[in-house]
Chain A
């Protein structure tokens, strides 16, 4: 029982990332009909927004410490962050410590801008082209974005820790009457799950309860009719691209304390997120979220020692096996609509 709960918990944070990326992918596909293979790169750029803010907050000046030597035997240059100089070591240190949450404020406008520029500058030219062309051009864009990040930040992962007050893990086992250490779960992963649910809820509320959202939903259902009513639906869809980019970017920002970001992290999530979209049903927002969590939890179960010893390699194929089963039994995915990608 404790192992069951443990793997469900483990699956939630991974599922949260899948759900957020798949949600953005579905938003873009549902509004613009574009299969965006650069979406994983948006997740990665979001993560590097956190790296950038961490670097910015750590901007330092150098002083020479004659009592210590550097690796060449010269007097050591000691770096002190400006923030610690301006606000004192405690306050300045606390601000630096909260770099990741602060990066959210930076990432939202940056990611919306990146999304809008990406859509207006490149992707709009491929609306009427076959999906294969869209996949090729967005995949190429993803590689370019990766290489740009690698040029500036290198290939190695960059540690981007959570605030120290949010480090550590909570012992759920004790809460449910199990032995100590039976079910432990890091605080930051809990925060990630709650954050993901909040973002998903906000996107759904935005689409459901605002006039802008209503127009977008109408446009997703029948673009031509909405245009004939004199509404500039293209402009709204461009904004939705920006919002989808922001969702992916925020998922990336908050993921950095879970695994130190590197330039390739978007690709690690991209393929799985596409499987999530297909399993959930192309164009279905609730389907993307449901499939994200479902596959995240299944993947977690498949990685247990019991599963890997019973069926070796199951942890590497489980998501694809589930995708095959779902597509054989429900060809439109779990919550797919008739007519989407069926022309």
Chain B
């Protein structure tokens, strides 16, 4: 749990420090960074608008625009109507009209920090949210912590975001690698048996490392053996040299710890090499993609059919929150939202609600309002924003590529909703930085 420093003494100390030391995020010394003035509050949407994840970024932006519309009383209200907290009434946030600015992360840490910094300094953004990569999320979260701004992460799945790199000003609604492993492993054991030999191909960066570790741990606990883990450069486009030796390795399962273009290409290559048609150790050879994205899965075409993975959310869920969001998003844009869009929309609503409940835009008040907050009606069932690490805990979906899709959006189908209790872990879990991991102090900035 972060230490909330919103006390008279700390305010005075911050004021003195603010007067004495000019900082890049200078504001009113007695207040907090970017205290909204003039009847409007500005949110900063930092998403990939160029680069390989631009389509995912565009979907995030659509969701944010929809959230702003709903917060300001426009449209049908979407998930505001199903949200268990009832502070959002269509009058903006704390009665201030919601405006927004956008930045382009380019899916590069330095570019993402630069765009976030610009939105904070030049546009007076009170909160930064969005993103489609864990390395970007970790980088921007660090910047927001320094700046005294709340960061509501977008799509980031690395354990590190709320693990060793957790920050008091940062919050993640999206699930993580550990949760994928915990949800997926029992389904894999059930479908493919417990006597399996797995060969991992892993994207060589923070997300890949933590996901591989999570999946290997979860599957080994159920009897699987991990016989090899090969790191592949993030810039790889052709995976044939990595895939060709798999069949000769004695493995009967290939786990692709890849996302985005890497996933599309490695899965396509694996299917090309006929892996799915082979029999090894007397069993059918299987492929697993632990983290699915519908937008990306479309790129792999028919190759995803029948392949198991996990997602944070899917538009086909039957709950009221999901139906409200899909109706609202689909009516406005003509197609169903992605899981990236969902998590971003939810994060915007959660932030707005936290400010309303806190009665202040002060980041430390918002942190206090979000920590330990339990809610429902936002598409994932009852959810907890855990105070210890600012990670949301909720049900996780196990999905598989659909055999007979009815449309280009109908790529995945939910095969199991893994209950929240099954994916929970202690905040000082070794995969999340252990006992040394700490949120640090909440920073109100200014």
B272 and A186 within 8 A (CB): yes
CB contacts under 8 Å to B, within A278-303, are 299-301, 303
A169 to B271 Cα, complex, angstroms: 9
Contacts of A78 in B (CB 8 A): 406
Query: Which of A169, A182, A268 counts the most B-chain CB atoms under 10 A from its CB?
Result: A169
Knowing A10-B241, A260-B268 are in contact, say whether A182-B55 is a contact too (CB < 8 A).
Answer: no
8 Å CB contact of A68 from B274, B406, B409: B406
Quick one: CB contact mask for B32-69 with A, threshold 8 Å, 1 for yes? 00000000000000000001111100000000000000
Query: Which of A2, A179, A257, A316 counts the most B-chain CB atoms under 10 A from its CB?
Result: A316
B300 and A159 within 8 A (CB): yes
B296 and A156 within 8 A (CB): yes
Answer yes or no: B179 CB below 8 A from chain A CBs.
no
A71 and B315 within 8 A (CB): yes
CB contacts under 8 Å to B, within A243-291, are 257-260, 262, 264-265, 268
8 Å CB contact of B298 from A72, A159, A167, A301: A159
Chain A interface size, as a band, is 35 or more
Knowing A154-B54, A156-B55, A169-B273 are in contact, say whether A72-B331 is a contact too (CB < 8 A).
Answer: yes
Min C-beta distance of B399 to chain A, whole Å: 16
A186 and B273 within 8 A (CB): yes
B244 and A6 within 8 A (CB): yes
Chain B interface size, as a band, is 35 or more
Contacts of B278 in A (CB 8 A): 181
Answer yes or no: A114 CB below 8 A from chain B CBs.
no
CB contacts under 8 Å to B, within A68-95, are 68, 70-72, 76, 78
Answer yes or no: B4 CB below 8 A from chain A CBs.
no
Q: Considering only CB atoms, which chain B residue lies closest to A169 in the complex?
A: B274
Answer yes or no: B101 CB below 8 A from chain A CBs.
no
Answer yes or no: B242 CB below 8 A from chain A CBs.
yes
A193 to B410 Cα, complex, angstroms: 35
A7 and B244 within 8 A (CB): yes
Answer yes or no: A158 CB below 8 A from chain B CBs.
yes
Contacts of A315 in B (CB 8 A): 233, 241
A182 and B248 within 8 A (CB): yes
Contacts of B53 in A (CB 8 A): 155
B272 and A72 within 8 A (CB): no
B407 and A184 within 8 A (CB): no
Answer yes or no: A168 CB below 8 A from chain B CBs.
yes
Min C-beta distance of B136 to chain A, whole Å: 16
Min C-beta distance of A312 to chain B, whole Å: 9
Residues of B within 8 A of A (CB): 51-55, 228, 230-231, 233, 235, 237-238, 240-242, 244-245, 247-248, 261, 264-265, 268-269, 272-274, 277-278, 280, 295-296, 298-303, 315-316, 326-327, 330-331, 335-336, 406-407, 409-410
Chain A to chain B: the 4 pairs with minimum beta-carbon distance, closest first: A159-B301, A303-B241, A157-B299, A169-B274
